[in-house]
Structure 1
Amino acid sequence: MRNVYLHLCFVFCLIFPFISQAENGDEHMVLGMGIPFNYPFDRTVKWHIKELASGAVLKHGMGPIRKLLFEVPGTYQITIEEELNYDPLTCNHPQYPEEMTIEVSPFHMEFDFSTVRLSDEIVGGHPVDGQTLSIDVTFTAYGQDSLACEIQPFTSSGVGTTIVGVPVHREVTLYPGVNTITYRLSGQARSNSYLMFDFVDINNQVQVYGLPQKIK
């Protein structure tokens, strides 16, 4: 069951970008450059996508949006029209906001979880203070050769865990291709538990990694 749960979490993160609710009820999304946009609209929903800067309509259609790629970074707006059921015996509240805003970042940073390297094994009930975790990230940029940025710490989730990872070098310069980030660990975990680490990319989106082995 745990493997199924991790798989579903990973698939959800790939399919749906980071979504926040604006004060007016509209949704705001941040999407890394080169990441396809998907949204499970009902088949009867009509939508139009336009670039806010120019007002040009990028695409329009009905039903779910699947694997839509934005070729140019910027801010895009989705206008939504849905058919409401005015039968007084049924719920006729709209399912979707009237508008959604998509901010397409010129940068994309993907954590390669197959490269996770721990300096020592995490043992239940023992502090991990001073241990390190290294991971490779693939960085892509639109129209730039590099990016000076700040790497965010990662946190953990699981029963009885207090483990956090703080980057050894908080201020870094990322170059297109593979870059390595090293975190210094602190805290501890409970024995006989599974851990998940929440890494934050440069677009403030969370990418979740599940430690494959149970903590002894």
Structure 2
Amino acid sequence: MIKQISYLAICKSMVVMLFLSVSTVFAQHNENKNNKREESVTLSYGLPFSYSLDTYTGWDIKNDAGDVLSTGSGDINEVFSKPGNYSVYIHEKHNDDSKSSCDHDQYPSKVTIKVSPLKMVFDFSSIQFSKKIKEGQSTKGITVTVNAVYSSYENRPADYHHGFTTAGVGTSLSGRLNEDKVLLKNGINKLEFSLEGFTTKGNNIMIEFKDINDQVQPYTLIEKN
């Protein structure tokens, strides 16, 4: 009787251990799946998309319908001529026998790409300041003009309302459109901003303009003494 009870206890213990073991493996699988990195980017139609990968890493690009549009290995260099949503799936090779903690994903498993039907490129060769920015002095009254080349896949105008911010040591500069919004038309559009704030030191200021898709296009202003 004692032996029978001991046997039943051992069986119950093994069942509990097996259940816990399966639960642990299932939890680890879900954790690994959830830990897969994903990235997302926005770009305009007709502009190149580049992503650096090692030679042996494979990838494929699919549209919203799941159709494979392109496949390959190594660096990705693609141009999306049509607006829409696309997905890049990256397939890394791992050594299944490796027990090293270093053998993990270097790249995201998926990159979601939103291709906008609107395109706007600042022509920084046309940028002009009405006055020179001086250290420690207010920039009130200084205007910045720059041309922006705009195009639409469907040949439609669009409202633009972004200002700009700056980055640099000792600078608190920002810019706002002189108009609340500007109606962009296909071709060259001249934009005018009013500066606000001041800079205390340094002559290297990065101006971060935002395009119609809310993406930053930086311009570095280097004032010569």
**Same-fold status (TM-score > 0.5):** yes
Aligned to 1:91: 102
Aligned to 2:57: 45
* 3-state SS in 2 of match to 1:41: coil
| Partner deviation per Cα, 1:52-78 (whole Å, 9 max, x = no partner) | 1x3221111111112x11121000011
Alignment of 1:25-174 (within 5 A): 25-52=37-64, 54-66=65-77, 68-86=78-96, 87-89=98-100, 91-147=102-158, 149-174=159-184
Alignment RMSD (CA, Å) = 1.7
State whether residues 153 and 165 of structure 1, in contact with CA within 8 Å, keep that contact through their aligned partners in structure 2: yes
Aligned to 1:208: 218
> 2: distance between equivalents of 1:47 and 1:115?
40
| Partner deviation per Cα, 1:129-184 (whole Å, 9 max, x = no partner) | 1211010001111012322x232111111111111001112322111110011111
Pairwise CA distance, 1:24? 7.1
Aligned to 2:205: 195
State whether residues 169 and 201 of structure 2, in contact with CA within 8 Å, keep that contact through their aligned partners in structure 1: no
Q: TM-score, normalised by structure 2?
A: 0.79
- Aligned pairs, how many? 190
> 2: distance between equivalents of 1:196 and 1:97?
30
One-letter amino acid matched to 1:28? S
Q: Decide which structure has greater helix share.
A: 2
Aligned to 2:187: 177
Pairwise CA distance, 1:90? 5.3
Pairwise CA distance, 1:124? 0.7
* 3-state SS in 1 of match to 2:214: coil
Aligned to 2:3: none
> 2: distance between equivalents of 1:161 and 1:131?
15
One-letter amino acid matched to 2:69? L
State whether residues 120 and 212 of structure 2, in contact with CA within 8 Å, keep that contact through their aligned partners in structure 1: yes
> 2: distance between equivalents of 1:167 and 1:24?
41
> 1: distance between equivalents of 2:36 and 2:91?
17
> 2: distance between equivalents of 1:178 and 1:137?
6
* 3-state SS in 2 of match to 1:103: strand
Pairwise CA distance, 1:48? 1.0
| Partner deviation per Cα, 1:1-24 (whole Å, 9 max, x = no partner) | xxxxxxxxxxxxxxxxxxxxxx97
* 3-state SS in 2 of match to 1:34: coil
Pairwise CA distance, 1:112? 0.8
Pairwise CA distance, 1:187? 0.6
> 1: distance between equivalents of 2:165 and 2:219?
11
> 1: distance between equivalents of 2:56 and 2:202?
48
> 2: distance between equivalents of 1:146 and 1:85?
53
* 3-state SS in 1 of match to 2:70: strand
